[in-house]
Amino acid sequence: MVDKYASWVPSSGVFPKGFKVGSIATNVKKNGELDLGIIYNTHQHPPESSLTSTAAAVFTTNRFQAAPILISKHVLEATGGKGIDTIVINSGCANAVTGEAGNQDAKELVEHINRKTSKANSTLMMSTGVIGQRLSVDKISNGIDRLFEENNVSFGDAFESWLNLAKAITTTDTFPKLTSGEFTLSNGVSYRLVGVAKGAGMICPNMATMLGFIGCDLPIASSALQNIVRYAVDRSFNCISVDGDMSTNDTVYMVSNGAVETDVIEEGSTDFYKVRDQVVAFSQQLARLIVRDGEGATKFVSITVKDALTFEDAKIIARSISNSMLVKCALNGGDANWGRFLCAIGYAQLQNVQSLDLEKISVSLVGSEEEEPSKLDLVLNGVPELQLDEEKATELITRDDIKIMVSLGTGVEECTFWTCDLSHEYININADYRT
Amino acid sequence: MVDKYASWVPSSGVFPKGFKVGSIATNVKKNGELDLGIIYNTHQHPPESSLTSTAAAVFTTNRFQAAPILISKHVLEATGGKGIDTIVINSGCANAVTGEAGNQDAKELVEHINRKTSKANSTLMMSTGVIGQRLSVDKISNGIDRLFEENNVSFGDAFESWLNLAKAITTTDTFPKLTSGEFTLSNGVSYRLVGVAKGAGMICPNMATMLGFIGCDLPIASSALQNIVRYAVDRSFNCISVDGDMSTNDTVYMVSNGAVETDVIEEGSTDFYKVRDQVVAFSQQLARLIVRDGEGATKFVSITVKDALTFEDAKIIARSISNSMLVKCALNGGDANWGRFLCAIGYAQLQNVQSLDLEKISVSLVGSEEEEPSKLDLVLNGVPELQLDEEKATELITRDDIKIMVSLGTGVEECTFWTCDLSHEYININADYRT
């Protein structure tokens, strides 16, 4: 077994200016581990400036949305995403299916923080953990008090503080998910991004599949930021499949505080797309970490559908393959079972029937993401490779990292999904989790 | 473990008049078991009559449709379903993803039978088994010759012949699926129905999830029969979920030969609906047998979504719960995990947003299909049952047969799905099937 912690958790980082983070154990998690984290923007623009920190969000489309989502949506609507300075995240209790009482609990905590920071409508919340249980408002507000006491001494802006935050938001994760980096725009100035996430396949009642936060020190309008986050989520967190289930708490927030005081990035400019590419890459990195931490996963599998008529149909096909239990079993068993890939392609509910031409489709195996030259065709232009090199196929598909490439031959669009295999361990984890 | 064969295979039956069936081992299946079956209608109406046997069909919507489907569709189009007298079914080779050569193979066999019965355009075909392999036309046409030699002496119309046919069409099934019965219409005359099916979750390359045949001795027009079969399939074979995958070969045929020479059943008449109810019940019986034979299944689970705004949305929700890997794991582990049920309801892609009102939904457990009075509410009008009788919940959900009831409270429509749990054995069967 790979040591996932050693392989995937960084040991240093470079973080956006102006953000401070603090984490604490409130005893909501019964094992005494960190279970409350706060991300706090300390950079304030002068009162005469029209600039503020800006926030954007993408929430689960599950009809049962948890209380922290409902409350945070109100805050975003009231502010248009301007002036969001604090993100509070608790783990151990999802505050989901808790009705109006649960909404009041979330609201009380959010307003408690607003009082601490002396700024109304500046806090968003995320929760993850057991559903159907009320939040311990006392424990959490006590934790908030302790974090903010003595001039915020518990907050830090260095690697250790961010790593603790990443730990504080985990539930069944086997490792914290943290990434950070620097990029330069056309003005020659460098900016920094940080990303944290939690997720390891959905466990109900510890049901939140994933939470994510991305922070940046760029000045940018909320509407532009919202476009970037929506675009990035569609190509990252919405392109992973551990078990195909979707939770009540899934949330991704991005906050950009403009602590590097350059001109505001204009939507549609070259720099806007550069930033978008950075956020996509960051989101994909975090998304891949969630798949690597998939419950019971023994394989990390990239499924790229290319030469497609539309991005949407490329995604629908990639998702169909990624979610197929039979494909996941074949991957677990190291079986290059192209028939199952074709099946899943064939029953994908495409938006445009012309996206799929049975005589143009090719399916190949590639050793890993980096090794495209070593690809082995399983099906070429709709015809199965009868003289298949089974030995090579087995060698490729029994690796820890697998890449499956589907070429539709009907266009130029492309989408990559990341998935994992279905193992006995997944069933062990999920068969009697609650009891 | 339940002895599935003893529990679910009948030991006698009453079959529609005029049908004869024959089965034989052609050595396509390497273990020498029965692998070719023919259902043959011997009842011929007088030449001056406009009556003929009639056929209807429902095929997989997978874009990769196998050769027997393409060929049979041509026959149905050419004849309008009139005069179909023979169904030929082979197991061991699915004749799927075999291109134009595969189509020619299927066509050759169908025409070979038409010559034997001296009647053009009277044969439909179904195949199930390994994909990507050519059909052994020689072995199968030799088998056909042997069945039809010596005045069709190998054909029979009694229980043993039908049971052998049900065996001949199986692949990974652990028991043959056969059912038969009698019903009476308003004219006081009794008619007979027979149903056979194969299926046990989709195995690729033995990929045909299911094949089904229903025979009847009623006189009825093809168009009326097509409506009945479409309606019945929507409420039976399309309401089962073993693993959510769908194959290239899925086919259900119904043939009614009018051997009981009464008036033709008029579409829309009281008797038409009586017949439809019979066919629905038969199809559901066969569909449930396929779930009972689900790969690795240890539980048989009915999921009824009632009080729904539309049948379609009831079905979408029932399917969403049935296909959820997390629900299947909870069922396997005997965990009354209502949070997972709600999750799957919440992410169902409904056609009408008003079908789901979070404050009206109730979820209950019922001991078995017959035991509605013993139901235990898990969620009532959107509120989780906080004082849940966990002991009773565990007692109900650890039974072999489980019923989950969801009331949406938004209408009067209802749909039932049948599913099974996800077990270690499923992974064992599917992890290295091909190699």
What ipTM was reported for this prediction? 0.77
H or E segment and range at residue A200: none
Residue A166 host element (H or E): helix A159-168
Q: Check: CATH 3.10.20.340 for A300-432?
A: yes
Residue B419, annotated ligand binder? Answer: no
Cα separation, A287 vs A235, in Å, equals 9
Q: Which pLDDT tens digit goes with each residue over A100-117? A: 999 999 999 999 999 999
A292 touching B (Cβ < 8 Å): no
Q: How far is it, in rounded angstroms, from Cα B237 to Cα A343? A: 18
Angle between helices B99-116 and B67-79 (to 10 degrees): 50
Say yes or no for a CB contact (<8 Å) between B347 and A394. Answer: no
Of the candidates B243, B339, B345, which has its C-beta nearest A132's C-beta?
A: B339
- A376-380 and A383-384 as β-strands: parallel, antiparallel, unpaired? antiparallel
pLDDT band at residue B424, thresholds of 50, 70 and 90?
confident
Tokens of B205: 């390359």
Q: Does B398 touch chain A (CB under 8 A)?
A: no
Q: What is the pLDDT, as a whole number, of residue B267?
A: 94
Q: Is A435 annotated as a binding residue?
A: yes
* Active-site option among A60, A209, A298, A410: A209
- Based on its alpha-carbon atoms, the radius of gyration of chain A, rounded to whole angstroms, reads 22
Are the C-beta atoms of B384 and B342 separated by less than 8 Å?
Answer: no
Cβ contact A431–B335 (<8 Å) = yes
Q: Closest CB to B342: pick one of A64, A337, A383.
A: A64
DSSP per-residue letters across B149-216: HHHHTT-B-SHHHHHHHHHHT-SS-SS-EEEEEEEE-TTS-EEEEEEEEE-SS--SSS----EEEEEE
Interface touch B343/A245, C-beta < 8 Å? yes
Mean pLDDT over B365-378 rounds to 73
Distances (CA, A) of A426 to A129, A199, A202, A291: 18, 14, 11, 13
Q: What is the pLDDT of residues B172-219, one digit of tens each?
A: 899 999 999 999 999 999 999 999 999 876 544 444 579 999 999 999
State chain B's mean pLDDT as an integer.
90
Q: Provide the shortest C-alpha distance from residue B384 to chain A (in Å).
A: 7
> Is residue A304 among the annotated active site residues?
no
Q: Which fold has domain A4-293?
A: L-amino peptidase D-ALA esterase/amidase (3.60.70)
Give CA–CA dist A228/A57, Å, rounded: 10
Under the banding of pLDDT at 50, 70 and 90, the label for residue B1 is low
Confidence of residue B326 (pLDDT cuts 50, 70, 90): confident
Q: What H or E segment, with its residue span, contains residue B91?
A: strand B86-93
Of B203, B326, B426, the CB nearest to A243: B326
Reading the block at residue A286, the tokens are 């975090």
Centre a 10 Å sphere on the Cβ of residue B150 and count the other Cβ atoms it contains. 8
**How many CA atoms does the CB half-sphere of A345 hold within 13 Å?**
29
Nearest to B168 by CA among B224, B227, B126: B126
Which of A359-363, A392-396, B255-259, B371-375 is predicted with the least confidence, judged by mean pLDDT?
A: B371-375
- Is A360:A410 a contact under the CB 8 Å cutoff? yes
Contact across the interface for B358 and A64, Cβ inside 8 Å: yes
Residue B361 has pLDDT above 50, yes or no: yes
- Asked if residues A112 and A142 have their Cβ atoms less than 8 Å apart, the reply is no
Tally helices (H) and strands (E) across chain A: 12, 16
Report the Cα–Cα distance between both ends of chain B, in Å, rounded. Answer: 28
Residues of B with Cβ-Cβ distance to A246 under 8 angstroms: 343, 346-347
Q: Is A208 part of the contact surface with chain B (CB cutoff 8 Å)?
A: no
Task: State how far residue B424 is from chain A, nearest Cα, in angstroms.
Answer: 6
Averaged pLDDT, groups of 10, chain A, 435 residues long: 84 97 95 95 90 94 93 97 97 91 97 95 94 92 92 86 97 93 97 94 54 97 96 90 74 96 94 97 93 82 95 93 84 82 89 93 80 78 85 86 94 92 74 53
Asked if A337 is an interface residue toward chain B (Cβ–Cβ < 8 A), one would say yes
Q: Is A324 in contact with B244 (Cβ distance < 8 A)?
A: yes
Is A171 one of the annotated binding-site residues? yes
* Burial readout A139-159 (b: 16 or more C-beta within 10 A, e: otherwise): bbbebbeebbeeebebbbbeb
The yes-or-no verdict on residue B372 having pLDDT over 80 is: no
- B68 in Cβ contact with B125 (< 8 Å): yes
Q: How far is CA A120 from the centre of its chain?
A: 28
Contacts of B73 (CB under 8 A, 6+ apart): B57, B59
CA-nearest of B340, B342, B243 to A202 is: B340
Phi, psi torsion values for A181, nearest 5 degrees: 180, 175
Contact A64 B207 (CB under 8 A): no
Closest CB from A338, A394, A432 relative to B335: A432
pLDDT of residue B375: 82
pLDDT value, residue A280: 96
What pLDDT score does A130 carry? 81
Where on the phi/psi map is residue B18: left (φ > 0), alpha (ψ -120 to 50), or beta? left
Domain ranges of chain A: 4-293, 300-432
Does the pLDDT of residue B435 top 50, yes or no? no
Determine the average pLDDT of the residues in B355-359: 93
The reply to whether B387 touches chain A by the CB within 8 Å rule is: no
Chain A CB within 8 Å of residue B352 CB: no
CB contact under 8 A, A434 and B330: yes
